[in-house]
Amino acid sequence: MTPLTAYLLVAALLFAIGLAGALTRRSAILVLIGIELMLNAANLNLIAFWRYGPHPEFLTGMMFAIFSIAVAAAEAAVGLGLVISIYRHTQTTDVDQITRMKG
Amino acid sequence: MLIQEGAAAAFHPQLTGAASVAVRILWLIPVVPIIAAGIVAVLKQPRRRLAAGLAIGSMSFSFVLALFAFAHVVASWASGFAVRETVNFAWFHIGNEAVAMGWILDPLAAVMLVMVTFVGLLIFIYSTGYMAHDENFTRFFCFLALFAGAMLSLVISNSLLLLFMSWEIVGLTSYLLIGFWYHKPSAAAAAKKAFMTTRVGDVLFLLGMVWLFAETGTLLFYNHGAGSLEGFALGILLTQHAGLGLTAAGAIGLLIFAGAVGKSGQFPLHVWLPDAMEGPTPVSALIHAATMVAAGVYLVARVFPLMQAGAAGIGTTAAFGSTTALEVITWTGAVTAVFAALIAVAQDDIKRILAYSTVSQLGYMMAGLGMGGIAVGMFHLITHAFFKSLLFLGAGSVIHGSHDEQDIRRMGGLRSAMPVTFVVYAIGMLALCGFPLLFSGFWSKDGILEAAHGWSLSKAPFDLLVFGALLTAFYMTRQVSYVFFGRWRGHGHAHESPRVMTVPMCLLAFFAIALGVIGTPAWAWFRGFLLNEPAAVNFAAFASSDLLMLMGASTFVVFLGIGLAWWLYGNRSPAAEEPDKLEKAAPWAWAALRNRLYVDEIYEVTVLAFFHWWARVADWLDRRIWGGIVAGVAMAFRGWAQLNRLIDTFWVDGGFDKGCEELSTSGGLLARAHTGRVQTYLRLLALGFVVLFIVLIWSSRP
């Protein structure tokens, strides 16, 4: 087993945990945390493919990961903002209670 | 242009050149009364004085213009020129054909213009008195003015088309005025009868007009050689044969004469005229005695060249060549003259007697035209217009004065109660009888008798007309002795009419006497004027033994008629219920005359029965055949529609409804997936990814 495979397995595990959290948790905050986990699993993949790819001397994978983390931070901020706004509106963060999207 | 033989040798009629002022303003004569009628039509009912003023003013204006035109014609004639001035214009074009209109000033038109405007004016003035208490006073004057305008346009028209249109308008106003008191059923019925009876003649007239246009291509009478009454067109018409030994000219002439038969109440279309007396009396005087009914005579005189075309020896009475058309006119006139006079003997309604007398006198005019030409017929027309309108106005005055009583048996002794009316009525009566020497009627009737005596084809019309003269004297004397002599048998007190009514009658009475002067054999001014011959005073004309014999005979006949009637009826004042003297003598004949010789009844069982039968047939056809077809078609469509409805309900709608239901159900199923929970969506998304992933892996396997 090459180191890459081990990294990819870890990343897949991480993604599966994040997905399970995002799909099963009722609290909107925990759903957001699950999404963050999945994003980080993707970042881990990017780093692993760069490190064991054909050109590890260029810092492309690093750049990708840093960009992704920045976008994730912004997304987390927007997501938290939305959650706070929804909370103010509905007095809850239980996503099962929030069914306004039903037409 | 009629070229008169004999006298014409020394006296050459010529057309005057450029149109004179008189003819150029001639159109104003009919237009002004028509405009007045239009203004009166929109006036409110209480504006009586204004309405009467407008009508009378317009008529006075026309009278002055007519006098001016007349003076112009007389002056030209006196200086040796025959006036026949026309103003023609194209009214509209159809394809290459232009329909032309125009007016004409010639002696015939000038004489009629003066007569119509003068008599009309007097009757308008009289009407202000007679109709003073009528609530529809303004409407009356509107109709009268419209009538006068149409009649005047008829007189001056130089186109058969314009003449026909005016002819129809006077027919319309006649209808409106007969039915003026339309709340009386008898008046409404009489109006309809008049309109429809004259329509019979008018249809034939229209046919003749169309035929004339087809043959000659013009309806203008005179158009510098290109008119339908001028030599060229007549030449074409004479070469065409219409069957029954008639040329086209004769046949067209007879068709046009049929219009005159209707309008002038000639037998057998006379039935409307006596009924027309349902209208107000001034209307009877103006329209149904003096002017409109004479329009038929005027029409024949106007198209006389057509009637006369092809006759040998045109002109003087002695050698007056006849044509089939003229023969028909003569016989119709002579028969009508006696027929109507006979009926008049047995009538008791003062206006009905005068109406039959009018029919009879129109017969004289027609006979005069047929045998003696324009001058003879037209002279009687003019004198008759004066004395007959005088008689009608007198009758109106009598009716007015004796509280709307029209039955002469319920009058009597009015001589003392209405002296002025009595005197003028007596003058009118003597003029109508043809009382010798003094009265115009004598000279005009004698002209006709003289022409009849000289007629080469038959002496029967002469005998008929002499008998008619006897009857005329008889029935008029009977009427006058019933009305003015004996004792008063009506109710209430009779009173004399106001001056506004008596003064016009006095003027008419003056002319009923004075007009004789212009038509005596000694000074045949009227004849000369109409025929463009010089007229000179020549008392030697009386020296002719024939003429003296004729005058003697006619005088004898008149005295006989008056004497007989006076012997039977004079000063006796029988009660209204008492049977008439003649009725006792010959009840059967009296009943026949009293019932107007059953002409109406004959029409009832022939023409009207046929029309009723025909109407029933048409009604049956309409109901059963056409109605059945229509109902059948409707049924078929209704059945088809039902079928369509069934298909729609059970097939089209069923399929559609099922489809909609299914769609709705599936929509409901799908809507369940739409929970609004984000996590459900995400789960489905994840599931989708997983499936996609498996498929990808599966398909990319080596």
CB nearest to A101's CB, from B678, B683, B686: B678
Q: How far apart are CA B596 and CA B609, in angstroms?
A: 19
What's the pLDDT tens digit per position in B292-319? Answer: 888 999 999 988 888 887 765 444 443 4
What's the pLDDT tens digit per position in B210-226? Answer: 988 888 888 888 888 77
Q: What's the pLDDT score for residue B321?
A: 63
Q: What percent of chain B has pLDDT over 90?
A: 31
What are the chain B neighbours of A98 within 8 Å (beta carbons)?
676-678
Tell me: pLDDT of B539 over 50.
yes
User: If you ran DSSP here, which 8-state letter would residue B676 be given?
Assistant: S
Q: How far, in Å, are B57, B175, B278 from residue B192 at the CA level?
A: 31, 7, 12
Six-digit token pair at B602? 């004959």
> Which residues partner with B85 through β-bridges?
B105
Three-state secondary structure call for residue B643 = helix
CB within 8 Å: A102 and B686: no
Tell me: pLDDT of B479 over 60.
yes
Give B471: exposed, middle or buried? Use CB within 10 Å, 0-12, 13-18, 19+.
buried
Q: In terms of CA atoms, which chain B residue is nearest residue A26? A: B679
Residue with tokens 């000179």: B536
Q: Does any domain span residue A64?
A: yes
Reference B317, options B443, B452, B445; nearest CA is B452
Tell me: pLDDT of B241 over 90.
no
Q: Is the pLDDT higher at A66 or at B239?
A: A66
> CB of B438 within 8 A of CB of B513?
yes
Angle at B254 between CA B225 and CA B466, to 5 degrees: 115
What are the chain A neighbours of B676 within 8 Å (beta carbons)?
98-102
| DSSP of B95-148 | TTEEEEEEEEESHHHHHHHHHHHHHHHHHHHHHHHHTTT-TTHHHHHHHHHHHH
Q: How far apart are CA B359 and CA A40, in angstroms?
A: 129
Q: What's the pLDDT score for residue B3?
A: 35
Tell me: pLDDT of B6 over 50.
no
Q: What's the pLDDT score for residue B237?
A: 81
Domain enclosing residue A66, as ranges: 3-90
For chain A, how many structural domains are there in total?
1
A-B CB pairs within 8 A amount to: 28
Q: How far apart are CA B8 and CA B259, in angstroms?
A: 33
Q: How far apart are CA B595 and CA B353, in angstroms?
A: 13
> What is the CATH classification number for the domain harbouring A18?
1.10.287.3510
Six-digit token pair at B10? 């020394």
Give me the sign of the Cα torsion angle B308, B314, B315, B320.
Answer: negative
Buried b (16+ CB within 10 A) or exposed e, A19-35: bebbbebeebeebbebb
Q: Does any domain span residue A45?
A: yes
Q: How far apart are CA B549 and CA B521, in angstroms?
A: 14
CB nearest to A95's CB, from B678, B683, B686: B678
Q: Is the pLDDT higher at B402 or at A103?
A: B402
Confidence of residue B358 (pLDDT cuts 50, 70, 90): very high
Q: What's the pLDDT score for residue B171?
A: 92
What's the pLDDT tens digit per position in B263-291? Answer: 988 888 888 888 888 888 888 888 888 88
- The neighbour count for residue B49, using CB atoms within 10 Å, is 10
Q: How far apart are CA B380 and CA B445, in angstroms?
A: 7
Q: What's the pLDDT score for residue B314?
A: 47
Six-digit token pair at B674? 């739409």
Q: What's the pLDDT score for residue A37?
A: 93
Q: How far apart are CA A71 and CA B207, in angstroms?
A: 106
CB within 8 Å: A23 and B677: no
What's the pLDDT tens digit per position in B441-475? Answer: 888 888 898 888 888 888 888 999 999 999 999 99
Six-digit token pair at B121? 């004016």
Q: What's the pLDDT score for residue B19?
A: 66
> Rounded to the nearest 5°, which phi and psi values hold at B92?
-155, 165
Q: In terms of CA atoms, which chain A residue is nearest residue B676? A: A102
Q: Does any domain span residue A98?
A: no
Q: What's the pLDDT score for residue B468?
A: 92
Q: Does any domain span residue A65?
A: yes
CB within 8 Å: B679 and A100: no
Q: Does any domain span residue A97?
A: no
Q: What's the pLDDT score for residue A41?
A: 94
> CB of B225 within 8 A of CB of B236?
no
Three-state secondary structure call for residue B246 = strand
Q: How far apart are CA B318 and CA B298, in angstroms?
A: 23
Q: How far apart are CA B273 and CA B270, in angstroms?
A: 6
Confidence of residue B85 (pLDDT cuts 50, 70, 90): confident
Six-digit token pair at B386? 């004066």
Chain B closest CA to A57's CA: distance in Å? 32
Identify from B678, B683, B684 which residue to disrupt to test chain A contact, counting A C-beta atoms within 10 A and taking the largest count. B678
Spell out which chain B residues touch chain A, with contact meaning CB-CB distance below 8 angstroms: 674-679, 682-683, 686
Tell me: pLDDT of A74 over 90.
yes
Give me the sign of the Cα torsion angle B226, B230, B234, B235.
Answer: negative
Q: What's the pLDDT score for residue B484?
A: 87
CB within 8 Å: B674 and A98: no
Reference A11, options A68, A55, A54; nearest CA is A68
Q: Is the pLDDT higher at B196 or at B9?
A: B196
Tell me: pLDDT of B1 over 60.
no
Query: What Rg, from alpha-carbon coordinates, does chain B have?
Result: 37
Q: What's the pLDDT score for residue B642?
A: 94
CB within 8 Å: B679 and A95: yes
Three-state secondary structure call for residue B522 = coil
Q: What's the pLDDT score for residue B618?
A: 93
Q: Does any domain span residue A102?
A: no
Tell me what the pLDDT averaged over chain B comes to: 85
Residue with tokens 């016009």: B504
What's the pLDDT tens digit per position in B139-150? Answer: 899 999 999 999
> Which residues partner with B241 through β-bridges?
B247
Instruction: Please state the length of chain A.
Output: 103
Amino acid present at B47 = R
Residue with tokens 């002022």: B21
Instruction: Give the ranges where B309-459 is alpha helix by DSSP (H).
Output: 324-345, 350-372, 374-401, 414-417, 419-433, 440-453
Q: Does any domain span residue A55?
A: yes
Confidence of residue A93 (pLDDT cuts 50, 70, 90): confident
> CB of B218 within 8 A of CB of B227?
yes
CB within 8 Å: B683 and A22: no
CB within 8 Å: B686 and A19: yes
Q: Does any domain span residue A31?
A: yes
Chain B closest CA to A90's CA: distance in Å? 15
Q: How far apart are CA B469 and CA B582, in angstroms?
A: 19
> CB of B290 within 8 A of CB of B385?
yes
